[in-house]
Structure formats: C-alpha cells, structure tokens
Amino acid sequence: MSKPLAAARLDSSSAEGRWLAELQRGIPLCARPFEALARELDCAESDLINFVGRCREAGLVRRFGAVFDTRRLGYRSVLCAAAVPQDALDDAAAKITPFLGVTHCYLREAAGVPLPRTVDALRGSGTHAASHPNLWFTLSYPADVFDAMADEIRTRLAPFAVSFLPATRRYKVDVVFGAGTRAREERTEDDTAPLGARDRAAVAALQGDTEVRPDYFAALAERAGMKEWDLLSTLELWQRRGRLKRIGLLLAHRTAGYVANGMCCWRVEGDTTGAGRALAAREEVTHCYERPLSEGFPYNLFAMVHATSPEEAHAQHADLHRAVVTELGHEPDTVMLLSTKEYKKTSMTFFTSGK
C-alpha cells in the first residue's frame, strides 16, 4: 500500500505528480469521471480516488469541488487594497475578514518599501505610503448588493482609503501547481442568463468540499434534486459558456511547498495586450490580469507567481520583467509584493444570506 504523501511539492515528472496536475485541471463531465481520467493517465480508477484521500491526509487539499466564474453567477468580484500602518493591520483585517464576500485577505509587502509603523506616521507620509498598499483582499457579492457592501467595507476601514481594482482583461486564470499552466484569455463581460432556483440548487451541491467517489455526479445530482443526466447536461452547457471553470482539486499551495506568493505588477502605457499575453505564456504565472490604474497603486498589469522561497519569487519576477521589457521595447515601472501574512483564505460560498 502506498504511504501518505509528504506535505511537499510533487515532482511533475512522476506518476503522482501527473495525477495531481490533472486532478487540478478538472475531471471530465461523465458518469464515471475518475475512471475516464484514469484511462488517460494509465492507472486505475481506485488509484486516483485513493490518491485524493492521501492528499487530504497530508493536508495538500483545500477542497475538491467546482470552480465557478463569479461574474456568470450574477456576482461582482474585485481586488481591493489599502495602505495601513503596521500597528493597525491586525485590527483592520479583523474588521473585514468576517464578511462572507471577503474570501482572501493578505498582508503584502514590497521589498525595500516599508510602510509607516503608526497611524500618525502614515498621515504625515504623503503619497509614498499610498503607492504601495499592504492590506489586499478580494470582495465578491451579488451585483445588486455589491455597491452597498463596498460602502460598508470603506466605512469599516476608515480612515484608510480603499482602492477597488476590478479585472478589465483576463489573460490567464489557471491555477495548476506542479505542472505547466495554460494561457487562456477570457472576456470580462457577462452575457449569460440569470440563474433560477434549479440552477442555484446545482451550484449549492457542487460548491465546497465534495465527496470523491466513483459515481461522483450521481451523488451530487441527488443532493441537487436532479437526475444525473440533467446535471451533467447543465454542467456541460455551463462549461461551454464559461460559467463553470472546472471541477477538481484545489491545492493547499503553502502545505505543498509553495510558500512565497508574489504579485508582480507593471505600469504599462497604452495597450497591455502584448505584455499580458507574454506573461500568460510563462509557466510560473498562475494568474494574469489587466486592472485599472489607481491613485493608491499606479500599476495596471498583474501576474501572480507561487515559489518555494522569496528568493525564487524575486528571480521569477526578474525573469518576467525581462519578458515584459522585450515585448514593450522599453523598461516600465514594476514592483513585486510578497504575501507575508495570511489573514483569510476560503472559497466563495454562493447564494447565502447575511454579510
């Protein structure tokens, strides 16, 4: 019998490394998804199911379930940032992390650009501190209540100003650790119809951490009050229209050895397309977006890297910067912010009441 996996990054050239990569990319939409995937990977269905169990035992799995495009479920989602002095950080984070719509919240710092330690120092520091906000979080709510919840967040964080940075272009959203990720450009507008009660039941069954078993979709269909074929047909349609990204394993990347999370940013004048696509083509980049320039953070091209050390992350940033310079023909302003403290990291739970 195989031993439990070590809580470390897997070698993508090994059999189990391939299993991990493919399970992150997503299972096929069919009656026996693990059996179908096992045929592609030249292993047994039970190998994959047992492998997920061992990954869970090792703490490598955040959850196994569906990843949806929040916009196409009727939600708005933005990246937010605020410059908060060190002595107020924990209190500021505690004010916003209880909100259901705040799923990720980090302290992110730029090397060599320390923020003032106190509120009084921040007030007298001018624009330098505001150019590198350090409290970063995501905010996602149904579109009809989003503005009200954003105002509530502003109030909670006052006197610190909050920058709202929605994605205006998506060059890559494909988090697969331990193997090459794929560039996939996505539209930011939403042209899908609103969800009815039946569709919401399907979302409820698929979100969160789901049971991994041979008849995976049959069990979920029963929970949603649907026939298996009906659920699968719905999911196939959602996947074609971009509402469903994938159903698979979400890795606990820090446990897997990816302890340095770096947000690399550039200020690109004019069109970001060339530089964005060049970054999205890089294996080490897991996410790549265009976002609006803001007074608090004057950068508009963002790329995320996950490395095994801060030194590796800085080396990756340097390599990515060279690729951007090559594409643009000149050297734009750039900065990398490393996540140095995690206040919250959860998956979004859709269609729940309360804040």
Spatial CA neighbour of 305 closest among 340, 332, 337, 276: 337
d(CA 302, CA 167) in angstroms, rounded, equals 10
The reply to whether 56 falls in a domain is no
d(CA 48, CA 93) in angstroms, rounded, equals 39
Cα 232 to chain centroid distance, Å, stands at 25
d(CA 37, CA 32) in angstroms, rounded, equals 9
Cβ atoms 103, 138 nearer than 8 A: yes
- Check residue 18 and give its pLDDT: 92
Q: Where are the alpha helices (DSSP H) in 11-118?
A: 15-25, 33-41, 45-57, 89-96
CATH of the domain at 147: 3.30.70.3460
Cβ atoms 174, 184 nearer than 8 A: yes
Show the tokens assigned to 254: 């820090």
pLDDT in 10s for each residue of the chain, 355 residues: 344 454 344 566 689 999 999 999 999 999 999 999 999 999 999 999 999 999 999 999 999 999 999 999 999 999 999 999 999 999 999 999 999 999 999 999 997 544 444 445 444 443 334 448 999 999 999 999 999 999 999 999 999 999 999 999 999 986 655 544 444 555 545 556 678 999 999 999 999 899 999 999 999 999 999 999 999 999 999 999 999 999 999 998 888 788 899 999 999 999 999 999 999 999 999 999 999 999 889 999 999 999 999 999 999 999 999 999 999 999 999 999 999 999 999 988 898 766 6
Show the tokens assigned to 95: 């004010």
Spatial CA neighbour of 324 closest among 260, 286, 274: 274
- Check residue 116 and give its pLDDT: 45
Cα 333 to chain centroid distance, Å, stands at 25
Cα 254 to chain centroid distance, Å, stands at 14
Considering the entire predicted model, what is its pTM? 0.84
- Which residues span the domain enclosing 281? 73-184+255-341
DSSP states of 161-220: -EEEE--SEEEEE---TTS------B-SS--PPPP-HHHHHHHHHHSSSPP--TTHHHHH
- Check residue 274 and give its pLDDT: 97
Spatial CA neighbour of 27 closest among 41, 17, 12: 41
Peptide bond into 116 cis (omega under 30): no
d(CA 238, CA 232) in angstroms, rounded, equals 10
- Check residue 249 and give its pLDDT: 95
The reply to whether 336 falls in a domain is yes
Cβ atoms 121, 84 nearer than 8 A: no
d(CA 253, CA 262) in angstroms, rounded, equals 13
Q: Compute the C-alpha angle 226/230/235, nearest 5°.
A: 110
CA atoms within 13 A on the CB side of 23: 30
Domain total of the chain? 1
Q: Kindly state the DSSP code that residue 329 receives in the 8-state scheme.
A: S
- Check residue 232 and give its pLDDT: 97
Radius of gyration of the chain (CA): 21
d(CA 345, CA 68) in angstroms, rounded, equals 17
d(CA 18, CA 38) in angstroms, rounded, equals 11
- Check residue 120 and give its pLDDT: 52
